[in-house]
């Protein structure tokens, strides 16, 4: 399986802008710019998109692993906070903080934490990222 997305950028880094689109069409010429990335401008940015991908991937991996352990989640609410820092003369994503709140009948806290951490490590997006990934998981 392969999925694709593309980006088109026009102009200088500070005055220019770009658009991103996805194969599915969910994002279709969605605007991004220096201001949407580093300031408070309209549009998306790469870190926000990585966060969405990571949160979505994590929630699906967690649901899969819960199912394999005999649990069916009522809901999983996952958030990924992506940290972009200046380093080595440029920028890098150095950390992603995953926060998950889940409603799962019949699971105890120890089993919940074990499976939550397995999902953090097993999620394909976690595996591809070169960042410190933390997890704060709680049952609701």
What global pTM score does this model have? 0.91
Tokens describing residue 47 = 């870190």
CB atoms within 10 A of CB 102: 23
Residues 77-113 pLDDT 10s: 999 999 999 998 999 999 999 999 999 999 999 999 9
pLDDT number for residue 120: 96
Beta strands at 17-22 and 90-104: parallel, antiparallel or unpaired: unpaired
What is the Cα–Cα distance from 24 to 3, expressed in whole angstroms? Answer: 9
- Which residue's structure tokens are 């949160």? 55
Ordered structural domains, the chain, with CATH: 5-38 (no CATH), 46-139 (3.30.300.20)
Residues 33-81 pLDDT 10s: 999 999 989 999 999 999 999 999 999 999 999 999 999 999 999 999 9
Beta strands at 132-139 and 5-10: parallel, antiparallel or unpaired: unpaired
pLDDT number for residue 131: 85
């Amino acid at each position: 399986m392969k999925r694709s997305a593309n980006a088109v950028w026009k102009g200088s880094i500070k005055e220019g802008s770009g658009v991103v689109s996805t194969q599915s069409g969910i994002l279709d010429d969605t605007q991004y710019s220096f201001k949407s990335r580093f300031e408070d401008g309209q549009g998306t940015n790469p870190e926000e998109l990585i966060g969405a991908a990571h949160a979505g991937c994590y929630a699906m991996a967690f649901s899969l692993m819960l199912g394999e352990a005999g649990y069916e989640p009522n809901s999983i609410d996952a958030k990924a906070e992506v940290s972009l820092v200046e380093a080595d003369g440029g920028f890098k994503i150095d950390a992603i903080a995953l926060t998950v709140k889940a409603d799962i009948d019949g699971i105890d806290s120890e089993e919940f934490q074990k499976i939550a951490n397995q999902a953090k490590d097993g999620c394909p997006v976690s595996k591809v990222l070169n960042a410190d990934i933390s997890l704060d998981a709680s049952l609701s």
